[in-house]
Amino acid sequence: MLAYKRIIPCLDIKDGRVVKGVNFVDLKDAGDPVEIAAAYIAAGADELMFLDIAATSEDRTAKLDVVRNLATVTSFPFSVGGGLRSVDDVEAVLDAGATKVVIGSAAVLNPELVSAVTGKFGSERIIVAIDASLRSDESGHNVYINGGRNDSGIDAVTWAKEAEQLGVGEILLTSIGRDGTKAGYDLELTASVTNKVSIPVIASGGAGTREHFHEVLTQGRAAAALAASLFHFKEVTIGEVKEYLAAKGVPLKIR
């Protein structure tokens, strides 16, 4: 069966607005999440991802009003993450209308949570987010938690393998060093994970050109490529990316 590659716009949410920065800081307002989501759906996105980036540091869960607002205007598949720490948190977001949930820091701190939510809601609805940064000795990448602020000391590949064993359906892999830089995805990091797990890996961090998407989906073997500022500020459109990928023979789902 042909595995279609996906293009996923990411909407980082703070105070109810879409924001974007560089290396997880210097955030700029990019617009209303529902309006931006509608535009991306019309532009040909395969899925959408909403991350409430302040939820963990503010000790709260993702704001459900934003989730409900989106669910009322579209049946399009979308994932939501931010501050999810319990089975009840996950259930609330799914009940609000999300197709999938994204769990990051809480999964690292409490791996049993992953087993619990995949067991209750199904692997296909659970994504584990891995924010990774290159170690100072360049021997590999460590997992960072709390919005990229704290080094967990855990190797990214090791944690990806464990997350798969715990039953997670997908991995969202973000290179902190590439986030917002538009210098290209971290192909070494992405391949190091995709070569060790059999579940889909969504690559994030660094998209700047159409070529970058092709590189990470082929050389990096990612199942999907996620991007934010590149699309938010209309430097490249989803349609242009998909047209380029199709011309290169990358399998894409037509809708």
User: Does residue 29 carry a catalytic annotation?
Assistant: no
**Terminus-to-terminus CA distance in the chain, angstroms?**
18
Catalytic pick among 46, 131, 155, 179: 131
Nearest to 62, CA basis, from 122, 103, 26, 32: 103
Catalytic pick among 12, 46, 179, 186: 12
Output the CA–CA distances (angstroms, integers) from residue 157 to 102, 104, 135, 221, in the order listed: 18, 15, 13, 15
CA distance 55 to 93: 13
Cα 126 versus chain centre, distance: 12
Residue with tokens 């209308």: 97
Output the CA–CA distances (angstroms, integers) from residue 118 to 66, 164, 170, in the order listed: 24, 11, 11
Residue with tokens 């949410």: 13
User: Does residue 95 carry a catalytic annotation?
Assistant: no
Q: Which one-letter amino acid corresponds to residue 63? A: K
- Give the residue numbers marked as catalytic: 12, 131
